[in-house]
């Protein structure tokens, strides 16, 4: 399959690209500094901004599916106090609006989005400590993620939300998934979440579902 990964240079985006390439997919990596990714067979790197309408119009058509892994990588406390410097505060919803528009116009139906555990269907399952952290540190980002999910729910596209618990780079790709919000461990590796993204390309039964991912 020909897969577009939007937000390909963060830790989760890199892991997703690697997992997809390992399974034999062709991957278009879209990010502001996509050419920082190592060159690889089957990988097309495009330096561009996913919130730019012309960019999405140019890049998205012709792909079989889109995987969206957007967020703000700057320190959470600084972003909360001063706002983000390098990324729009509403990057998730702004880019998603363009993705929906172009995907509908060009018949690209499958959209897989990395969201966050504690948003949407899993909001009521969030523990007390995480509720406090969400409210104090990342409330604007969570609001934007909620908006992103809401937009896709009304888009008529074949979406799936991937909601990992706390992400880490340490450990194996072992992971546990559920569609009822249940989790096993408090952390999961980005490698494990990347395997879920790749799996979902072959899981039409999970279209329109929220998949929780834990270690």
Q: Is 33 exposed, middle or buried (0-12, 13-18, 19+ CB in 10 A)?
A: exposed
Overall average pLDDT of the 183-210 stretch: 97
What is the rounded distance in angstroms from the CA atom of residue 107 to the CA atom of residue 174?
34
Residue in the structure block whose two tokens are 């702004």: 94
Q: Per-residue pLDDT tens for 105-149?
A: 999 999 999 999 999 999 999 999 898 888 888 999 999 999 999
Other CB atoms within 10 A of residue 71 CB: 19
Structure token digits, residue 187: 């952390």
Residues in the chain: 215
Q: Structural domain of residue 164, as residue ranges?
A: 2-214
Q: Per-residue pLDDT tens for 50-98?
A: 999 999 999 999 999 999 999 887 777 676 778 788 788 899 999 999 9
- Using DSSP, state whether 61 is helix, strand or coil: coil
| Res 146: pLDDT | 97
| Res 85: pLDDT | 81
How many domains are contained in the chain? 1
Domain CATH for 184: 3.40.50.720
- Using DSSP, state whether 152 is helix, strand or coil: helix
């Amino acid at each position: 399959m020909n897969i577009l990964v939007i937000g390909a240079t963060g830790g989760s985006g890199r892991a997703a690209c690697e997992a997809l390439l390992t399974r034999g997919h062709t991957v278009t990596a879209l990010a502001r500094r996509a050419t920082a990714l190592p060159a690889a067979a089957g990988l097309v790197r495009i330096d561009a901004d996913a919130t730019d309408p012309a960019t999405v119009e140019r890049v998205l058509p012709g792909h079989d599916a889109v995987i969206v892994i957007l967020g703000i990588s700057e320190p959470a406390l600084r972003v909360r106090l001063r706002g983000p410097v390098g990324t729009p505060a509403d990057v998730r919803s702004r880019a998603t609006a363009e993705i929906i528009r172009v995907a509908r116009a060009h018949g690209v139906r499958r959209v897989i989005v990395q969201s966050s555990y504690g948003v949407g269907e899993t909001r009521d399952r969030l523990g007390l400590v995480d509720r406090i952290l969400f409210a104090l540190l990342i409330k604007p980002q969570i609001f934007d993620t909620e908006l992103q999910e809401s937009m896709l729910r009304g888009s008529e596209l074949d979406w799936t939300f991937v909601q990992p618990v706390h992400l880490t780079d340490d450990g194996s790709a072992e992971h546990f998934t559920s569609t009822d919000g249940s989790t096993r461990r408090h952390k999961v590796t980005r490698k494990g979440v990347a395997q879920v993204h790749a799996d979902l390309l072959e899981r039409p039964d999970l279209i329109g579902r929220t998949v929780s991912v834990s270690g």
